[in-house]
Amino acid sequence: MTGTATPMDVDSSSSNQKDESYVLPWVEKYRPVYLKDVVGNDDTVARLNAIARDGNMPNIILSGLPGIGKTTSILCLAHELLGSAYKDAVLELNASDDRGIDVVRGRIKAFAQKKVTLPPGRHKIIILDEADSMTSGAQQALRRTMEIYSNTTRFALACNQSNKIIEPIQSRCATLRYTKLTDEQVLRRLHDLCKAENVATTDDGLEALIFTADGDMRQAINNLQSCFYGFGLVNSENVFKICDRPHPVLIHRILQDCAEGSVRDALQLVRELYEKGYSALDIVTTMFRVTKSYDELGDGLQLDFLKEIGFVHMRILDGYQTLLQLSGLVAKMAKVGVAAKAAS
């Protein structure tokens, strides 16, 4: 992480050239090094800034959806707390891979025992990514390790669901919750990257990136880079090809047909999407997100559609990923649409 570039540091004469032999992922190339560069979750980052300023870091649990800055934030905090000692005083593990009790008893305990020269009042930091994937036995062993080496070592656990962390660990940690990023925050960061890498974009291309990312900054940046190196131009058509998602315009037409009671037309469009290879989960997830923003339906019809989509989404997650489920959903929404037209 040390020396990682930010958009302001990039030499445009070199960054604008595509190196076909090796391309550094932009999520790493532009990963923030300091907390002031972290995008979104301002209140949580402000708490981390206070910890960096005071130097008194507690054990921390960072909880939230993937790709919204949890691991990046704790790495930035480690940089600001430890400075030049960062390389020797930080151990980063992905607990979804290294999640057994042997890792806790071996690598983590050995690092906690290691002697490192640190600035006054600072501690070694052990970062466990995907900590909610750790086995129960490993978490119990970790609890004991946290207790024994509390004078020299601090732990930062990043997870998607904090309720999967055992209570004894939760009680020893300060919990910081991250929410998904807003469209404006993602757009601002994408603009910075496009300017730094001289990426040709269209407005609908950026909107498509934001739509497909759904608040996940990492996915937005990865999709931007993939689209740029795949097609050279970031527009909506290319973005949806890269992401392999049903196009929202087609989903919008399905919803419109259902609202008008045109069940046959809606069924034909759903069948076409399914036969193109899109999974039932992809289709129903995109349908939910398009419905949320389809204000022309009216509040009543919008809520009825969302309710029907929610029921089918639940059945699809149970394993019933079939065209029959999607056809039934379309039929129910068309029935709701006819009833709404009759009532008006």
Q: What is the DSSP string of 207-258?
A: HHHHHHHTT-HHHHHHHHHHHHHHHSEE-HHHHHHHHT---HHHHHHHHHHH
pLDDT of residue 99: 64
Distance CA 3, CA 218 (A): 20
191 has a pLDDT exceeding 80: yes
CATH 1.10.8.60 fits 183-243, yes or no: yes
Sequence ranges of the domains in the chain? 41-177, 183-243, 248-343
10 Å Cβ neighbour count for 14? 8
**Average pLDDT, rounded, for the chain:** 86
Q: What is the pLDDT of residues 250-270, one digit of tens each?
A: 999 999 999 988 899 999 999
Element (H, E) at 291: helix 280-292
Asked if residues 248 and 327 have their Cβ atoms less than 8 Å apart, the reply is no
148 has a pLDDT exceeding 80: yes
Residues of the chain above pLDDT 90, percent:
39
- Which residues contact residue 8 at a Cβ distance below 8 angstroms, ignoring those fewer than 6 apart? none
Asked if residues 45 and 91 have their Cβ atoms less than 8 Å apart, the reply is no
Mean pLDDT, residues 262-288 taken together: 91
327 has a pLDDT exceeding 90: yes
10 Å Cβ neighbour count for 203? 9
> 154 forms bridges with which residues in the sheet?
125
10 Å Cβ neighbour count for 150? 15
Question: Is 129 strand, coil or helix?
Answer: strand
Would you state the structure tokens that stand for residue 79, as one six-digit string? 């940089």
Q: Which CATH number applies to 41-177? A: 3.40.50.300
Q: Which CATH number applies to 248-343? A: 1.20.272.10
Q: Is the pTM of this model over 0.85?
A: no
pLDDT of residue 298: 83
* Residue at 92: amino acid letter: E
- Which residues contact residue 206 at a Cβ distance below 8 angstroms, ignoring those fewer than 6 apart? 187, 190, 191, 234
DSSP state, residue 68 = S
Tokens 């045109």: give the residue. Answer: 262
DSSP state, residue 182 = P
Name which of 26-30, 175-179, 291-295 the model is least confident about: 291-295
Mean pLDDT, residues 164-170 taken together: 91
Q: What is the pLDDT of residues 91-142, one digit of tens each?
A: 888 766 666 677 777 788 888 888 888 888 888 999 988 888 888 888 888 8
Element (H, E) at 154: strand 153-159
Name which of 14-23, 122-131, 314-323 the model is least confident about: 14-23
Asked if residues 106 and 113 have their Cβ atoms less than 8 Å apart, the reply is no
Domains 183-243 and 248-343 share a fold: no
